[in-house]
Amino acid sequence: MTTLEDVRSWLEEQLPELIARYDVPAAGVAVLAGGEVADVATGVLSTATGVAATTDSLFQIGSITKVWTATLAMQLVDEGRLELDAPVRRYLPGLRVADDDAAAAMTVRQLLCHTAGVEGDVFIDTGRGDDCLEKYVGSLSDVPQLFGPGELFSYSNTGYCLLGRLVEVLRDRPYDTCLQDHLFTPLGLTHAAAGPYEAILFRAAVGHLASTSGAGQGPAPVWAMPRSNAAAGSMLAMRPRDLLAFGRMHLDGGTAADGTPVLTSGAVRAMQEQQVRVPDIGVMGDAWGLGWELFDTLGSAVIGHDGNTIGQASFMRLVPGHGIGVVLLTNGGNPYGLYRDVVGHVLRELAGIDLRPLPSPPPDPPRIDAGRYTGTYTSRVADLDVSQDGDGRIWAELRPKDLLAELGGGTERSELVAFAEDVLIPLEARSGLHVPYAFLGDDGAGRSRYVHMGRAMPRLAP
């Protein structure tokens, strides 16, 4: 039987080799089993400075922050100050989006499980002041509604910014202070930072991005996205052990390691209950709870979340009922390959769980008529053109805009082939992944209404 010490020894031996294989400058890992934690780190926090990564080094956790925001919201539910099925406007009466009926109808629960339907990738820099979230919410009046509240899953940063503002209003204090008072302190965290002004006091990782000239990768030009998106994952950074302390609390019925109550056991269970199924694209969970991504095709219940910021990627997987958890934090390269090797090894050895195989194009895909799928789909951060040429080959051209364009993203063209019913898959992998395109709904003319890659992109009207 594999022990935690066996896993630690494997990590100490293999992690340096694995980060070299996947061109990851640095990685930190923490593993929980039997009530004990093992942590290992290797590499450099910045290729410009050569500062070595240690187990106390901070990495951005990106969208794993959403589970922290969800936990802050569920604490308010525990206190009787927040109702999950109440309209968001009960708490944010000034909320306006382009569809006023949708703004009036969307609920707190729908924000938590990404079904509110509002455009999900709204990145607006409203400054660094404590009023940045208030200003962000006040700037959403022209943001479109993708679908009616509750109709569909579509991953939403915007929804979690709204949740962060809701927490601020009910607590009457800034989001960062809520994190500190209601999570950092009761969990006993010592190496966690709500933003760059705190992170600079620690050994902090810098993200790395591929050069547009093709000359490898280098440190990202900026450390973080706007503070106004902090509740969705633009700021929070910590060492792997501190992130795992948060995960452990969710495994232990809402109680911190020292016995401090953080969340009721009922709220912990509610967060892990399925709220909505996710379109099957093979690179996300099978369903979503209240904040948690749920994986039910791994042979055992697994919960978790991933995160991506500017050149940093994070992964957390927990096995409820078994007291097992693993966190991987990285700062560039191909983090997904590293995730499969590291997290896959830990789950297999400690929990007997194998990761779901990644989707890949079939060796001899059938030729199909793609007329139902062709056209232009749009979102706040990209446009996608799907076309079929005279030889029957299907092409996707992704054109970044807004924040993605500002970060140096260029147009990407890829060939797609049939993968499953109403699902196409790229022939070539990007960052080690073949991310399928699921085509959903009907626009009334026999064509798909959305293309879905975790987020629903609506068809652009002709």
Task: Report, as residue numbers or ranges, the catalytic residues.
Answer: 63
Alpha carbon dihedral 406, 407, 410, 416, in 10-degree steps, equals -120
3-state secondary structure 399-435: EECHHHHHCCCCCEEEEEEEEECCEEEECCCECCECC
Output the CA–CA distances (angstroms, integers) from residue 63 to 158, 178, 275, 359, in the order listed. Answer: 12, 17, 19, 23
Return phi, psi of residue 390, to 5°.
-65, -20
How far is it, in rounded angstroms, from Cα 58 to Cα 238? 4
Output the CA–CA distances (angstroms, integers) from residue 114 to 252, 282, 380, 454, in the order listed. Answer: 26, 18, 16, 10
How far is it, in rounded angstroms, from Cα 69 to Cα 449? 31
Residue 336 corresponds to which amino acid?
Y
DSSP secondary structure letter of residue 107:
B
How is 237-279 classified by DSSP, letter by letter?
Answer: EE-HHHHHHHHHHHHTTTB-TTS-B-S-HHHHHHHTS--EEPP
What burial class does residue 79 get, using C-beta atoms within 10 Å of its C-beta: 0-12 exposed, 13-18 middle, 19+ buried? exposed
Residue 239 corresponds to which amino acid?
R
Q: How far is CA 378 from the centre of its chain?
A: 21
Residue 12 burial (CB count, 10 A): 12
What's the chain's length in residues? 462
3-state SS, residue 83: coil
How far is it, in rounded angstroms, from Cα 133 to Cα 139? 10
The answer to whether 54 and 82 have CB atoms below 8 angstroms apart is no
3-state SS, residue 29: strand
How far is it, in rounded angstroms, from Cα 231 to Cα 133? 9
